[in-house]
Chains A and B, each alone.
Chain A
């Protein structure tokens, strides 16, 4: 397909690449406003405490301090920083239990007070002068203890620290009968890791009140309009009085699907009347922004001896920390992924969400599907072993096909599991390597695999509403106005390629206008890998709208009907005789400077809401060598076979996958969110203790793209970024299991854990 395209499918440079390699690109921390103050937050040092009194007088009197605020200075509006309550078709499970500044300390890192001062040093001094009288309460750090009858209660309206229990609504069959009909049943408990996404730019926000009373917010949020509405609701403002700006963001990976510093910044800006910037240190980013959920999961699979699934069941306790945030929504996606990946006649799942005095959790890459699929794929390997079947064969026997429902329940236009698994197995040499004897001189070789399906947006569960505007400039170039946060995923470059392709322009002739709610139409924001698929379709609609006007005017000039024309290479041409053509520029310019009273700034508008939700697919194969004497895992190779529909920009697609592989690598092997179980404080609070892989740690990676266009996708494309970790994590875990027979049910799979298991 790509070879017929002029711009789509090409490895053109990402949007704003020039700015990023010259240092010109402005990120949150680079934002400066006149008279700007530095904000800092006072965090609770206690995991659980009542706040008896806060005396801010000494802090307020310190020269250079412009404001000190606590719970009594903020609107008493409960909110959930997650944006889903605004767009979920069924928002009943989205509970709101958080204030801008907490009235009670519920974890080490809870926001208790904030200051705005003339500089960093003064703000720090002011924090030290705030006198907080705490009544320290007993704390709970695990979900089992938290639901016990005598456990200390975090929230008034959550008896036994349980916020909700529910059964997954998309279930079918009878799991008890299904397990009864199985020849082999495997049941296993897992605890998933509270891993932190550690985007490289520390969380930062700026808020400024104009003289008119209008509020400007610079934020890393992925949902400018949704979070603008939330801030408006919290502070009793009207949305139109808020201008929300999203500059370049130094990584998010889903984390800024939550409000972070915006409400505190706004409160300080309102109190001082001056712009306020809060920049987190790396330590603050690690303990005060959201890690992943700890899903305590009992998972069960039933298979027949000839390798057919009979039942799948998942029971989850979400230990999501001190506040609700994404607890139920990630669990729902987790269960959907677990139950929906394979064909299975009987499925059921349930979730209990529990509070504990640990760090509140968020929705990052995979959004629960990562954890659910990892657990499922590990169970598949256990079941395969029990029935003496090659795990590749067990997967092939139960894989879904086109027309089957995806994990969202919507029918799949395409499904390429068979092709991806076959391609990957051949490339990696699965048969020979699986047959290889594992141990030689103290080292054990292993090979593992996993598959996954993810999403191209959150339909049908959420409103997914996108808008794009295109306007022509006299020179025949266009401005493309979309609200699509630049988090690094090159969505904007991809959308530019789509616009250029549709209008027959060069890639360089698309000028993107973005990141400002004043100048762009509404967009629900980036999540669930919906950007390219959904906004891409909106851009096509906008481009076709503009093209209609272009062709109509050109048709007059060329004396043909508009249906006889098309665009390409900056020209409008007659399809039947391409020598008859006219430059797009001349049509646009003539419409703009028209002396016949027929003016037009040729433009187009597109609005899109998806009906389909085509899943991206992947099959991942990993080889490892485990040193049996030290337990050290050496990852030899990771082969990632992906079906992105169509790779609108292959370099972008590969880049997303390669980055996700590095994140999976860290999740499985090196990253540990280490909380002190006596105090509840985060001990791994910088990169010297929370270990991200460097280039030296990375194994040999190969990414293979197998494109099968989806009819509903823009030029056949689906989402890529969110799902790219999902199959990698279990493929590494399965390779370790293949090598040394050690099941890792709580990551990271450290050499200490592996050696302990080997020596049992």
Chain B
């Protein structure tokens, strides 16, 4: 009766139990969080899972929390929708809010988790692009304990993350944005319901018209989402001006390794990286002044 191949199914009630199951069935087990990417991929035969570990029933993985130092964190079972409607996210991390809000399927947002999205490690993730620019950190838990990874160290290669056997991401930590900072997210898409051709997220911190911190993240233009480090170097410590923005944007375009696929061409992606970085920087700079 089913369109999915058979698998053994578990409902662990703790992270440790989940980690243990993943270790035991290493290479053959998949984590079920939202399922919005996993189930369709299993139907198409793109993902084979002989064991499915459902983490939906593990307590403490869903909450959005603010810590003492002002950092905001959310968990492996925090749904995209929860982040979208969160006042804290909307006010403090507009780039993340924008990246989620522009996902057109409400059902996908009710089901899908940000962590699940990140773990796919596709370069074509708007959420991951925003998190790169926000300097997000991931808490990785295994049987033996926890460690932290940055988005860059987590996304190793095309659809490949750094998780080892028996490890899951339990929390995402967003540092408190310093005063004088502004963020922006934008992308180009065929339809509202499509994956982006190119997406860009930037975060800038200005003091007296000079850039004191900048993160420029680009999605769908390389094997992973990446930080355009050369562009950041160009813009860092520069007096903010149209020329400085243009130079940073050109540098960012030079750092892309885009491909031609069904959604777009390599040339277009490269050129649009320049355009979107320019526009995003302009927007982020304006927001930083507000």
Interface residues of chain A, those whose CB is within 8 Å of chain B, are 119-121, 283, 629-632, 670, 672, 674, 683-684, 687-689, 691-694, 696-697, 750-752, 755
Complex contact A751–B262 (CB within 8 A) = no
Q: Are A751 and B191 in contact (CB under 8 A)?
A: no
In the bound complex, CA of A683 to CA of B260 (Å) = 13
Residues in A with CB closer than 8 Å to B271 are 755
CB of A694 within 8 A of CB of B104, answer: yes
Chain B's closest residue to A38 (CB) is B1
Whether A684 pairs with B262 at a CB distance below 8 angstroms is yes
Contact yes or no, B193 A691, CB < 8 A: yes
Q: Which residues of A contact B267 (CB under 8 A)?
A: 752
B interface residues, Cβ below 8 angstroms from A = 1-3, 44, 104, 188, 190-195, 262, 264-265, 267-268, 271-272, 275
Contacts of A120 in B (CB 8 A): 1-3
When distances are taken between beta carbons in the complex, the residues of chain A under 8 Å from B2 are 120-121
Pairwise interchain contact B193-A694, C-beta atoms closer than 8 A: yes
Chain A residue with the shortest CB-CB distance to B272: A630
The reply to whether B265 and A670 form a contact with Cβ atoms under 8 Å apart is: no
Contact of B192 among A674, A694, A750 (CB under 8 A): A694
- CA of A337 to CA of B194, assembled, Å: 35
27 A–B pairs (Cβ distance < 8 Å), ordered by A: A120-B2, A120-B3, A121-B1, A121-B2, A630-B188, A631-B268, A632-B188, A670-B190, A670-B191, A683-B262, A684-B262, A688-B195, A689-B262, A691-B193, A691-B194, A693-B191, A694-B104, A694-B192, A696-B192, A696-B193, A697-B193, A750-B190, A752-B265, A752-B267, A752-B268, A755-B268, A755-B271
Not counting A121-B2, A694-B192, a sample of 16 additional A-B residue pairs whose C-beta atoms are within 8 angstroms of each other reads A119-B1, A120-B1, A283-B44, A629-B275, A630-B272, A630-B275, A670-B190, A670-B191, A689-B262, A691-B193, A691-B194, A692-B191, A694-B193, A697-B191, A751-B188, A752-B268
Task: Give the chain B neighbours of A696 by CB distance below 8 A.
Answer: 104, 192-193
A691/B191 in contact, CB under 8 A: yes
Chain A residues with CB under 8 Å of B194's CB are 688, 691
| Distance in angstroms between the alpha carbons of A709 and B94 in the assembled complex | 56
Shortest C-beta distance, A439 to chain B (Å), equals 17
Are A752 and B188 touching (Cβ within 8 A)?
no
Chain A: minimal CB distance from B229 (Å): 25
A61 to B238, CA, bound (A): 74
Q: Tell me which residues across on chain A come within 8 A of B272, comparing CB atoms.
A: 630
Q: Please give me the residue from chain B that is nearest to A693 by CB atom.
A: B191
A684 and B261 CA atoms in complex are apart in Å by 11
A88→B151 CA distance, assembly (Å)? 65
Count chain A CB atoms within 10 A of each CB in B3, B190, B265, B272 and give the residue with the most: B190
- A543–B196 Cα gap in the complex (Å)? 57
> How distant is the Cα of A693 from the Cα of B193 in the complex, in angstroms?
8
The 5 lowest CB-CB distance pairs between A and B, nearest first, are A696-B192, A691-B191, A752-B268, A691-B190, A697-B191
Chain A residues contacting B191 (CB-CB under 8 Å) are 670, 691-694, 697
Give the CA-CA distance A670 to B262 in the complex, in Å.
11
Residues in A whose Cβ lies below 8 Å from that of B192? 694, 696-697
Shortest CB distance B58–A (Å): 29
Instruction: Quote the shortest CB–CB distance from B40 to chain A (angstroms).
Output: 8
Q: What is the CA–CA distance of A751 and B192 in the complex, to the nearest angstrom?
A: 15
A672 in contact with B268 (CB, 8 Å): no
A153 and B178 CA atoms in complex are apart in Å by 69
CA distance A630 to B104 in the complex (A): 21
List of A residues within 8 angstroms of B268 by Cβ: 631, 751-752, 755
Contacts of A672 in B (CB 8 A): 262
A751-B44 Cα distance, complex, nearest whole Å? 30
B194 CB, min distance to chain A CBs, angstroms: 5
Contacts of A674 in B (CB 8 A): 262
Max count, chain A CB within 10 A of own CB: residue among B3, B195, B262, B265: B262
Chain B residue, CB-CB nearest to A692: B191
Taking CB atoms, residues of chain B closer than 8 Å to A691 are 190-191, 193-194
C-alpha spacing A311/B101, complex, angstroms? 53
Complexed CA–CA distance, A121 and B195 (Å): 31
